[in-house]
Structure 1
């Protein structure tokens, strides 16, 4: 019995260590994707000078974003998988609501039999 418990404890500890290691690796990779990864250098806290401020240009203006948003609103593409997913979700939802109501009725009937 003791050997079994030690084996189980060892397996659980190993799995827990693997989960924690996976969480840490995911955290590091998500930071790299966001661009907030620590690359080992310290950024300057001082204000950038006027020369470097002139070089920094915004990638998109608000006008560009508005036109893109209007074009996306105009494009009304039909997605087959989205439509199938919506119909399947509606069917499953209605099925489970009917099953819950039937189960509630059956339980209510069973409890009414036992009550005086």
Structure 2
């Protein structure tokens, strides 16, 4: 099981890298086809290093650790109560209970 999870994680990471590389190559191809640099056309992934301060951008949106911390806090606040999640949980418990009773009825 551990080896399967490891292989699955490695495969997912490889596919993510392949997709990002493909997006970057497509962007470079579009720039070559146009014949000039368009400032509105941004790279898929870019990393800037200025004075030991690393900044990254993904599809033109800047990414920083402060943004990630704020989003994590917001997700924790939002996930306090999720109506659809609780409805799904109750429905799954009901279906599981009904199927157990049906199997017990058939088995006897």
Whether the TM-score (by the shorter chain) exceeds 0.5 is no
Of structures 1 and 2, the one scoring higher in RCO (CA 8 A, sep 6+) is 2
Higher strand proportion (structure 1 or 2): 2
TM-score by length of 1: 0.39
TM-score by length of 2: 0.41
Query: Which structure's CA Rg is the greater one?
Result: 1
